[in-house]
Amino acid sequence: MHQKGLIHRDIKSQNILLHSPPGSGRIVVKIADLGLIKVQKQPLQSTKITIAGTFPYMPPEMIMGNEDGQIIADAKIDVWSSGIILHQLVSHSFPFKSTNLQAIMMFMFSKKLERPPQVKDDIMWDLLTKMLAFDRKDRISASDALKHERK
């Protein structure tokens, strides 16, 4: 999806579907609700976008913008959202205290991601910290996240 210049902009747990083809013994993850997809003219470059999506899954660059108040984003906004989902899967909670906008903003301003006690595995924690990097320039790409190993 990202290689084709598409940014979903609303990845959240409600938009993740799991499918197990009969007899395959595997699970296929599918992304639903493509209504907010943004097409980038040049897939490897950032682009100006409007705010769209669901607040608890939005990355800092979408909620706070840059110094000029513009929202410049790329496919890494989907990586942040996926990191929020992964955090929920392993800890049964969001990485912030509440899902109201004020709590989310405080989390983003503090730039402190705390390791949940449920995350014992260092490889998992390393992946979470890379997916939830507050600066999008430091955030791992989706393709690198899929290949992630502790380095």
- Please say whether the beta carbons of 80 and 59 come within 8 A: yes
**CATH entry 1.10.510.10 includes domain 44-146:** yes
* pLDDT score, position 51: 59
Q: Which residues of the chain fall short of a pLDDT of 50?
A: none
Coil vs helix vs strand at 76: helix
* pLDDT score, position 5: 65
- The residue from 10, 68, 121, 135 that is catalytic is 10
* pLDDT score, position 24: 94
* pLDDT score, position 47: 54
Q: Is 10 a catalytic residue?
A: yes
Domain limits, the chain: 44-146
* pLDDT score, position 40: 64
pLDDT tens track for 93-118: 999 988 888 999 899 999 999 999 99
State how far the Cα of 136 lies from the Cα of 8, in Å rounded to an integer.
16
